[in-house]
Copies of this chain bind each other. A is one copy, B any other.
Amino acid sequence: MTMRIYLAGPEVFLPDGGAAVGAAKRAICAAHGLVGVLPVEEGGAAVAAGGGDPGWFRIYRGNEDLIRGCDALIANLTPFRGPSADPGTVFELGFMRGLGRPVFGYSNTAARFGSRTLAALGPAARRRPSGGWEDAEGMAVEDFDLHDNLMLEGGIRASGGLFVAEAVPAGRRWSELGAFARCVAAAAAALLGSAGAGAGQPESESSA
């Protein structure tokens, strides 16, 4: 039986719609005996088939159908226009966890969520009397030594998946696939029982 992996990430916003990096991701999946499934293209068949719905909702339905048809999901959680991951990717991560299937994630930035948030806030960040940091509205800066809001890594861990963070130069963060490849190996081990990265053992790795 062929196992299918939904490849969530903001690469759909790249000038080529993520085609080049998507092809590279699919090749890595294939090398591990898995089929990588990319999000729908804006002009693609899944979208065109949506009938009277507005275009954006046809894209939504297309993606939801693709995720439902997959056995696992790997999310590119590299920060996107702020301290956190792309919200569309995060929605898909939560959705697949809701379906009860294994989810994996990676980030091509090794800096932790807390320090990235403080960097984004700049001089607006201030110390709380009780310790920790808050923003100008008095809202806390989450700091659990994780790579994003705890719900993201929590969902990955709860599903038995793997999260990998890797320091990558800024210019290569939408093309570098080392951390992604480690997620694929872990997914293959979990789904196909092949030797390799600790299947079924919730893990978090970091290399910098």
Contacts and interface: CB of A to CB of B under 8 A. Distances in A.
Interface size class of A (residues with CB under 8 A): 35 or more
Interface string A140-171: 10101010111111110110000000000000
A151 B93 CA distance: 11
A85 interface: yes
A86 B149 contact: yes
Given A60-B158, A95-B155, A139 B88 contact: no
B60 A135 contact: no
Interface of A: 10, 13-15, 54-57, 59-61, 63-64, 81-88, 90-99, 117, 120-121, 128, 134-135, 137-140, 142, 144, 146, 148-155, 157-158, 174
7 contacts: A13-B134, A15-B134, A56-B150, A60-B150, A81-B135, A87-B152, A90-B94
